[in-house]
Amino acid sequence: MNMSIDSKKIARNTVFLYVRLILVMGVTFYSSRVILDKLGASDYGLYYVVYGVIGLLSFLNGTLSSGTSRFITFELGRGDKENLKATFHTVLYAHVLLSLIILIIGETIGLCYAMNILNIPPDRFRAAMIVYQISICSTIISIIQVPFTSEIIAHEDMNVYAYLGIFESLSKLIVVFLLIYTSFDKLIFFAILQLLVAALFFIIYVNYCRNHYDEVSQKGRHSKSILKEVLTFSGWNVIANLSNTLMVQGIILLYNLFFSPIVVAAQAISNQISQALMQFVDNVRKSIEPQVIKLYADEQYSESKKLTFLSAEYVFDLLMFLGIPCILIMPNLLDLWLVEVPEYTVAFARLIVLQNILGNFSAAFYTPMLAANKLSVNSISSFFLCVIQFLVLWILFKCGFGPLWARYLGLIACVMFSFIIKPFVLIHDIGYTIVEIYRCIFRCMLKMCIVSAVSVLLYVLFPQGNIFNTLVVAFSSGFSVIIISFLFMKKIHRDALLRIIENKLRWVRN
Q: Which of 30-39, 256-265, 389-398, 490-499 has the highest mean pLDDT?
A: 389-398
pLDDT one-digit tens code per residue, 467-485: 777 777 777 877 777 787 7
Asked whether residue 242 is assigned to any structural domain, the reply reads no
Same domain, 213 and 275: no
For residue 510, the one-letter residue type is N
Asked whether residue 234 is assigned to any structural domain, the reply reads no
For the cut 70, the answer to whether the pLDDT of residue 123 exceeds it is yes
Q: What is the CA radius of gyration of the chain?
A: 23
Same domain, 406 and 500: yes
pTM: 0.65
Asked whether residue 206 is assigned to any structural domain, the reply reads yes
Q: Report the alpha-carbon distance of residue 431 to residue 442 in Å, rounded.
A: 20
Same domain, 346 and 461: yes
Same domain, 182 and 268: no
Question: Quick one: pLDDT band at residue 92, thresholds 50, 70, 90?
Answer: confident
Q: What is the pLDDT of residue 2?
A: 47
Tell me which of 235-244, 273-282, 348-357, 400-409 is least confident: 235-244
Same domain, 206 and 269: no
Distances 453 to 1, 448, 458 between C-alpha atoms, Å: 48, 8, 9
Q: What is the pLDDT of residue 55?
A: 61
Asked whether residue 231 is assigned to any structural domain, the reply reads no
Domain final residue pick, 168, 199, 222? 222
Could you tell me the end-to-end alpha-carbon distance of the chain, in angstroms, rounded to an integer? 42
Asked whether residue 144 is assigned to any structural domain, the reply reads yes
Domain that residue 74 falls in: 16-222
Question: Quick one: pLDDT band at residue 285, thresholds 50, 70, 90?
Answer: confident
pLDDT one-digit tens code per residue, 38-71: 777 667 667 767 766 666 555 555 555 666 766 7
Question: Quick one: pLDDT band at residue 182, thresholds 50, 70, 90?
Answer: confident
Q: For residue 251, which of 413, 394, 106 has the smallest C-alpha distance?
A: 394
Q: How many domains does the chain have?
A: 2
Q: Report the alpha-carbon distance of residue 315 to residue 129 in Å, rounded.
A: 41
Say what the alpha-carbon torsion angle 314, 318, 320, 325 is, to the nearest 10 degrees.
160
Same domain, 376 and 505: yes
Same domain, 90 and 144: yes
Asked whether residue 9 is assigned to any structural domain, the reply reads no
Same domain, 446 and 496: yes
Same domain, 487 and 382: yes
Question: Quick one: pLDDT band at residue 465, thresholds 50, 70, 90?
Answer: low
Same domain, 188 and 308: no
Domain final residue pick, 171, 197, 222? 222
Same domain, 487 and 417: yes
Same domain, 97 and 167: yes
Asked whether residue 10 is assigned to any structural domain, the reply reads no
Q: At what angle do helices 261-297 and 125-154 cross, to 10 degrees?
A: 20
Asked whether residue 334 is assigned to any structural domain, the reply reads yes
Q: What is the pLDDT of residue 1?
A: 46
Domain final residue pick, 170, 200, 222? 222
| 474 Cβ neighbours under 8 A, 6+ residues apart | 325, 328, 329
91, 71 contact by CB (below 8 A)? yes
